[in-house]
């Protein structure tokens, strides 16, 4: 997978970067449809724009989740059954099962560390809701709620889970959900509606 193509997929995965869902009805055909669209978005982003008007590509919620189902190698060990859902005006929800013990053991912690205050262990369900705002090639994720195993957690604890599971050689500190981030391959804006997301290039 090229870095540019991985960045597009990574954007979708980072917005989900977490969660659980009954994905057994998603099909390989839906996954393949998303793959073709990601390839087209990536190719378009690597070539100079020719059209005077922005180009829009619609990705359905089912396509995205089918792609996650059939490409779990996109996610690090410890993340199981990710699912992403879209609603109007940038609203989205992500859920997955994550290994909380792996996050806790990643560094020394004090008794008052937020991760030690969560009375859960092992694999637990993570659910995040929020709003994605994007403009001029930059995105911002506003977290509205987060929970582990049904227990509400602060954004600082959520950030640690996300950072732990999104670390790469190119991003050694992981993805920071509290800061604006550049959209990859010439994407100008990402718009959501119920059950779909539109990528504008």
CA 113 to CA 78: how far, in whole Å?
Answer: 21
Could you tell me the mean pLDDT of each successive run of 10 residues in the chain, 201 residues long?
Answer: 54 49 74 96 83 87 95 90 94 93 77 65 90 96 93 90 89 92 94 96 90
- Structural domain count of the chain: 1
Helices 28-45, 3-16: axis angle to 10 degrees equals 120
192 lies in which domain range? Answer: 3-200
pLDDT single digits (tens) 31-56:
999 999 999 999 988 887 666 788 99
pTM of the predicted structure, to 2 decimals = 0.80
CA 133 to CA 91: how far, in whole Å?
Answer: 9
Laid out side by side, the sheet with 189-193 consists of 56-60, 196-200, 189-193
pLDDT at residue 135 in the model: 94
């Amino acid at each position: 997978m090229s870095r540019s193509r991985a960045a597009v997929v990574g954007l979708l995965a980072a917005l989900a970067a977490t969660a659980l869902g009954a994905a057994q009805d998603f099909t390989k055909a839906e996954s393949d449809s998303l793959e073709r669209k990601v390839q087209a978005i990536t190719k378009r982003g690597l070539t100079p724009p020719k059209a005077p008007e922005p180009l829009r590509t619609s990705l359905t919620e089912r396509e995205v989740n089918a792609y996650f189902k059939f490409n779990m190698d996109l996610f690090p060990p410890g993340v199981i059954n990710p699912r992403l859902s879209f609603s109007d005006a940038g609203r989205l929800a992500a859920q997955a099962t994550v290994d909380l013990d792996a996050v806790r053991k990643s560094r020394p912690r004090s008794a008052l560390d937020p991760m030690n205050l969560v009375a859960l262990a092992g694999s637990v369900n993570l659910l995040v809701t929020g709003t994605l705002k994007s403009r001029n090639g930059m995105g911002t994720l506003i977290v509205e709620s987060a929970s582990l195993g049904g227990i509400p957690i602060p954004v600082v604890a959520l950030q640690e889970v996300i950072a732990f599971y999104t670390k790469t050689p190119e991003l050694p500190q992981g993805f920071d959900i509290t800061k604006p981030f550049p959209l990859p391959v010439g994407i100008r804006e990402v718009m959501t509606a119920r059950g779909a997301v539109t990528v504008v290039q």
